[in-house]
Amino acid sequence: MMGPRPVVLSGPSGAGKSTLVKRLMQEYADVFGFSVSHTTRNPRAGEVDGKDYHFVCREEMEKGILADEFIEHAEFSGNLYGTSKKAVEVIRDHNQICILDLDIQGVRSMKRTTLNPLYLSIHPPSIEALEERLRGRKTESEESIQKRLAAARADLEISKEPGIFDAVIINDDLDEAYNKLKDVLSEEIQKVQASKKN
């Protein structure tokens, strides 16, 4: 069984993807399931293992990749990140819309699979606003902020390529961005809600 169409959220680190996903999961707990990725980076204050990410060491992650346990994986800012087959299957088994938070390499890899997700890019209003958010989050070292800003500049260029994203949402005012996100997803949300009533 195919299950509902998954949704990929991409865009620069610090643009507000996690904030938007958390709101969506709160409002529609039954409808969405977040694909919990694996990463070799250290947990940030407040992040929960198994909920935000599966935090693993590089050796364990590389073993999993070799054992073909991942749909996609990428190196971002000196750490490995990846989506396990299991993370996505669990959500499909619950007939929920699978939300994936992926960097641009993950987007490209996902396009080679049969999952056929909707691809959304979340943008900050400007690089300056992004830097302010990354600093304001107080989770990154100066080196990590600089790496993320460099990746962000590249991301914002790539997302201009025609056909790569189905929609770009600018997260300036959070409520406006959230409403736009709900708007883009409304058809899929309604389908899942209707199927759960039957």
The span of 11-19, 35-43, 103-111, 157-165 binding ligand ADP (CB under 6 A) equals 11-19
Which of 17, 38, 123, 180: binder of ligand ADP (CB under 6 A)?
17
In the residue annotation, 58 being an active-site residue is answered as no
**Annotation marks residue 148 as catalytic:** yes
The kind and range of the H/E element at 56 are none
| Catalytic residue flag (residue 5) | no
On the 0-12 / 13-18 / 19+ scale of CB atoms within 10 A, 183 is exposed
Classify residue 40 as left (phi > 0), alpha (psi -120 to 50) or beta: alpha
Based on the shown chain and the rule CB under 6 A, indicate whether residue 137 belongs to the binding site for ligand ADP: yes
Read off the amino acid at residue 174.
Answer: L
Asked if 83 touches ligand ADP (CB under 6 A), the answer is: no
Query: Which listed range, 74-82, 118-126, 127-135, 169-177, lies at the site for ligand 5GP (CB under 6 A)?
Result: 74-82
Task: Tell me which stretch binds ligand ADP (CB under 6 A): 76-84, 108-116, 131-139, 152-160.
Answer: 131-139
Among 101, 130, 185, 189, binds ligand 5GP (CB under 6 A): 101
x-or-dash pattern for ligand 5GP, window 102-121, by CB under 6 A?
A: xx-xx---------------
Distance CA 100, CA 103 (A): 10
Hunting for tokens 């996902």 — which residue is that? 110
Q: Element (H or E) spanning 120, and its range? A: strand 118-123
Going by the DSSP 8-state scheme, the letter that residue 49 receives in this structure is: B
